Structure formats: structure tokens, C-alpha cells
């Protein structure tokens, strides 16, 4: 009991120090943020809520999946947990060799490592949940905008959005041609974006063959922070 009480008190003290360390402008901004009311229709028809998050693991960066030790651990984890998807960063990182440009600045794509990465997952009966990240070096608007992670991915927006759209389209088209996107597809239809700071929103539906595939570029949340919510039942309709 004494030890538990000490831990609780230590946590309170740590939180107080953390709050004291915040800039006054940050505290003021949070206190003045708008509140929202969420209305719930208690008479609405219910439906099952699948725990989709229990079927997927996050896993570092893409190039790691080429290691023999990674694939061994992937197979063992699949055997033990039965998970279905894995998501990792940096499929567009230069270490994966996917994007380059010739002397005239024309894009050059190389799917060698990309195919090996996704094939290795599928051989272990795990489907990739694809994240589009990060900006390739020759496409980055700021070569010095490197993330703090030790593999130094570039988090600046593309300097040419036309080339970025071509990159995403060619990448998506290749996956569709190799794996398909119908109901029996071995690859996840969900292609998500990397939420990278300072990136402008860029998304759409690409028509690849006969099946639509969702493609999305890096996005940033610009909606003001909401500090409080009020949950209220929706008033019954008079009709």
C-alpha cells in the first residue's frame, strides 16, 4: 500500500512539473480552444463494431522486412497471434531504391525492392497495409528537412506535385497489376497517407484497370484543437 501511494504521488508530481514546463501561450491556446457537442441518436439501428486494430501490427520501416531475421519473426508472430496486416514507414525512402530521376529530371521507377518487400509479407500470409512515405530525396522541396529518426527520412512536401502524383499513380498501378484489388486480392486495398507535418493535402481516386483504388498523399490536420466534448442525446424527430 505504501509503495502504491508513493507511485501515485510521484505521478502527480511529474504531471505538475510537466504542466509547469509548458509555455504560457500553449496553455492559453488550449484553454481558449472551442468545445463541441456530439449528438447521439439513441434510437438509431445498431451494428457490430469490428476490432480491426486487433488484426494489424506496426513495424518500423519497409527495408527491414528484407532481413532473414525479420521474416522469421514475422512468421512466428503470425503463427502465434494470427494477425492479418502489417504497416511500416518509408516505402518511398531512397534506401528502397524506388524513385530516381535521370539527367533531364525525368522520373525513373525501380520496383525491385518494393516487390521483394511485399512478396515477403505475402509468403507469410500477411497482407501489407500500405503507407505512402516519405518524400524521395530528388523530389523533396527541402533537402534539409530530415526527421529525427536515425534513418533521416525527408519530411518536406514534394517540390513538384505533378511528379508526386505520377509517383503515386505509377506505384498504385504497379501494385494493382501485380496483386489485384478485387475481393480476393492478397494486398490491402487501403492505401493510407503518412501524416507528415507541413504537407498539403493531396488525394483522390485513381482508376487502375477496372477497379478503383484509393490513393492519398501526405496530409496535415488543420482543424483547431478541441479541448472538450459534450455528449448529448439527439432530440426525437417530430415527424
Query: Are residues 209 and 227 in contact, defined by beta-carbon separation less than 8 angstroms?
Result: no
Is the per-residue pLDDT at 24 higher than 60? no
Which uninterrupted H or E stretch holds 20? helix 2-21
Q: Which residue has the higher pLDDT, 31 or 199?
A: 31
Contact present, 218 and 157 (Cβ < 8 Å): yes
Average pLDDT in the chain? 73
Q: So what's the pLDDT on residue 232? A: 58
DSSP secondary structure string, 104-125? T--EEE--HHHHHHHHHHHHTT
Q: What is the pTM of this model?
A: 0.63
State the pLDDT at residue 203. 35
- pLDDT surpasses 70 at 75: yes
Of 162 and 14, which is predicted with more confidence? Answer: 162
Q: Is the pLDDT of residue 36 over 90?
A: no
In this predicted structure, which of 111-115, 160-164, 235-239 has the lowest mean pLDDT?
Answer: 235-239
Which DSSP helix (H) or strand (E) runs through 229?
A: strand 228-233
Give the tens place of pLDDT for each residue, 188-224: 544 444 433 333 333 333 333 333 333 334 433 344 5
Q: Are strands 99-101 and 107-109 parallel, antiparallel or unpaired?
A: antiparallel
97-145 pLDDT, tens digit each? 999 999 999 999 999 999 999 999 999 999 888 888 899 999 999 988 8
Share of the chain above pLDDT 70, in %: 62
pLDDT at 41: 84
Per-residue model confidence (pLDDT) at position 219: 38
Residues 142-169 have a mean pLDDT of: 89
SS3 state of residue 158: strand
Q: Is the pLDDT of residue 155 over 90?
A: no
Task: Give pLDDT, residue 136.
Answer: 93
Instruction: Answer yes or no: is pLDDT of 40 > 70.
Output: yes
pLDDT at 64: 93
Q: What is the mean pLDDT of residues 52-65?
A: 88
**What are the cell numbers at 194?**
503518412
Q: Give the strand order in the sheet containing 127-128.
A: 56-61, 85-89, 127-128
Query: How far is residue 107's CA from residue 61's CA, in Å, rounded to a whole number?
Result: 23
* Per-domain boundaries in the chain: 53-216
| pLDDT on residue 187 | 59
Q: At 25, is the secondary structure helix, strand, or coil?
A: helix
Specify the CATH superfamily of domain 53-216. Answer: Glycosidases (3.20.20.80)
What is the distance between the alpha carbons of residues 162 and 166, in angstroms, rounded to a whole number?
6
Instruction: Please give the pLDDT value at position 145.
Output: 85
Q: Tell me what percent of the residues of the chain surpass a pLDDT of 90.
A: 33
Q: Is the dihedral of CA 63, 64, 69, 74 positive or negative?
A: negative
Q: What are phi and psi of 128, to 5 degrees?
A: -80, 135
Strand locations in the chain, DSSP E? Answer: 35-40, 56-61, 85-89, 99-101, 107-109, 127-128, 130-132, 191-193, 203-208, 211-216, 228-233
Dihedral Cα 110, 148, 221, 34, nearest 10 deg: 170
| pLDDT of the residue at 114 | 95
Amino acid at each position: 500500500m505504501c509503495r502504491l501511494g508513493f507511485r501515485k504521488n510521484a505521478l502527480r508530481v511529474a504531471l505538475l512539473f510537466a504542466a509547469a514546463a509548458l509555455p504560457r501561450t500553449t496553455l492559453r491556446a488550449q484553454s481558449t480552444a472551442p468545445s463541441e457537442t456530439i449528438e447521439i441518436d439513441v434510437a438509431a439501428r445498431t451494428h457490430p463494431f469490428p476490432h480491426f486494430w486487433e488484426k494489424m501490427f506496426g513495424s518500423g520501416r519497409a527495408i527491414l522486412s528484407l532481413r532473414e531475421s525479420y521474416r522469421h519473426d514475422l512468421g512466428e508472430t503470425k503463427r502465434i497471434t494470427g494477425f492479418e496486416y502489417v504497416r511500416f514507414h518509408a516505402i518511398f525512402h531512397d534506401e528502397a531504391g524506388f524513385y530516381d530521376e535521370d539527367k533531364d529530371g525525368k522520373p525513373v521507377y525501380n520496383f525491385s525492392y518494393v516487390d521483394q518487400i511485399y512478396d515477403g509479407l505475402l509468403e507469410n500470409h500477411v497482407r501489407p497495409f500500405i503507407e505512402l512515405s516519405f518524400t524521395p530525396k530528388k523530389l523533396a522541396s527541402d533537402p534539409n528537412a530530415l526527421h529525427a529518426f536515425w534513418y533521416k527520412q525527408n519530411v518536406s512536401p514534394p517540390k513538384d506535385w505533378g511528379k508526386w502524383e505520377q509517383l503515386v499513380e505509377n506505384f498504385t498501378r504497379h501494385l494493382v497489376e501485380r496483386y489485384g484489388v478485387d475481393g480476393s486480392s492478397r494486398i490491402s486495398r487501403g492505401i493510407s497517407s503518412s501524416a507528415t507535418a507541413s504537407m498539403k493535402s493531396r488525394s483522390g481516386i485513381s482508376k487502375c484497370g477496372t477497379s478503383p483504388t484509393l490513393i492519398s498523399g501526405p496530409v496535415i490536420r488543420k482543424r483547431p484543437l478541441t479541448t472538450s466534448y459534450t455528449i448529448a442525446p439527439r432530440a426525437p424527430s417530430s415527424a
